[in-house]
Chains A and B, each alone.
Chain A
């Protein structure tokens, strides 16, 4: 059966948060969705690698890491975009119709705070434009 629902898991570096990957895997199984792991990387101008080579390198790393976390029983896709993260994410959203759920795989606080330590984080400024819920999985519940 074709899986029309898509879950996107967003990372902003190679520090893959396991809790986000597990959450996506469980949800995908439950709602019969496929998962796109999206890695948005800044371009390091000192890098000697060409962008396309970098993308391939990052894609291999991310897929390997994900298979270490959730095994190979779930069909996943990795997409790597290199450049200005905010712009790359706009383009990613513009080129996909819609998502069932977006899962934030980066720093837990960064995507939430429009003020304070993470003020000005690109995800905080863009998340209101998502046409689907943004989930920020947490390992521990912190009471206020």
Chain B
């Protein structure tokens, strides 16, 4: 049996995780959701995820800090940045720091799925 891709969704808007989880699980992914950056850092420390989807603006620990932590800890993990406050500068910062992709809210689930599928292909040896 093929191993499931492990996905973590981090967003302080609970509705994002709530909507994405079932839609991604339906496509065969193993999905965890967390509502803040601090618990995400803890969880990433305990478990290796294949793909992490994180919001940028969050209290305490933001999405860029999560990206930097992941790049140091497990550089093969693909980080997808999502944000409701997209700017060119933010996109540039995310990509320069090593984000796999960047997506501005609001987006359609299919927009995100295309990016996840692209990331998944790069995970495969």
The answer to the question of B92 belonging to the interface, with a C-beta cut-off of 8 Å to chain A, is yes
Chain B contact patch, size range: 20 to 34
**What residues of A have a CB within 8 angstroms of the CB of B101 in the complex?**
91
A95 to B95, CA, bound (A): 8
Find residues 69-122 in chain A having any chain B CB closer than 8 Å to their own CB.
82-84, 86-87, 90-91, 93-95
Do A86 and B87 contact each other (CB < 8 Å), given the known contacts A43-B110, A43-B111, A51-B114? no
Question: Distance in Å from the Cβ of A95 to the closest Cβ of chain B?
Answer: 7
Choose from B102, B108, B113 the contact partner of A90 (Cβ within 8 Å): B102
**What residues of A have a CB within 8 angstroms of the CB of B90 in the complex?**
90
Choose from B87, B92, B110 the contact partner of A45 (Cβ within 8 Å): B110
Choose from B89, B94, B114 the contact partner of A83 (Cβ within 8 Å): B114
Chain A contact patch, size range: 10 to 19
Choose from B87, B89, B95, B113 the contact partner of A91 (Cβ within 8 Å): B95
**What residues of A have a CB within 8 angstroms of the CB of B1 in the complex?**
none
A91 to B115, CA, bound (A): 13
**What residues of B have a CB within 8 angstroms of the CB of A68 in the complex?**
none
The answer to the question of B104 belonging to the interface, with a C-beta cut-off of 8 Å to chain A, is yes
**What residues of B have a CB within 8 angstroms of the CB of A87 in the complex?**
86, 91, 102-104, 107, 111
The answer to the question of B88 belonging to the interface, with a C-beta cut-off of 8 Å to chain A, is yes
The answer to the question of B118 belonging to the interface, with a C-beta cut-off of 8 Å to chain A, is yes
Find residues 51-96 in chain B having any chain A CB closer than 8 Å to their own CB.
86-92, 94-95
Find residues 23-47 in chain A having any chain B CB closer than 8 Å to their own CB.
43, 45
Question: Distance in Å from the Cβ of A39 to the closest Cβ of chain B?
Answer: 16
Q: Are B102 and A43 in contact (CB under 8 A)?
A: no
A83 to B90, CA, bound (A): 18
**What residues of A have a CB within 8 angstroms of the CB of B89 in the complex?**
94
A129 to B91, CA, bound (A): 12
**What residues of B have a CB within 8 angstroms of the CB of A45 in the complex?**
110, 113
Tell me the B residues contacting A by CB distance below 8 Å: 86-92, 94-95, 101-104, 107-108, 110-111, 113-115, 117-118
Interface pairs A-B: 9 shortest CB-CB: A94-B92, A94-B91, A45-B110, A90-B91, A84-B111, A87-B104, A87-B103, A93-B88, A84-B107
Q: Can you list 6 A-B contacts with CB-CB less than 8 angstroms, sorted by A residue number? A: A43-B110, A87-B91, A87-B102, A93-B88, A93-B91, A95-B95
20 more CB-based (< 8 A) A-B contacts, given A87-B86, A87-B104: A43-B110, A43-B111, A43-B114, A51-B118, A82-B114, A83-B115, A84-B103, A84-B107, A87-B91, A87-B103, A90-B86, A90-B87, A90-B104, A93-B88, A93-B92, A94-B88, A94-B92, A95-B92, A95-B95, A129-B87
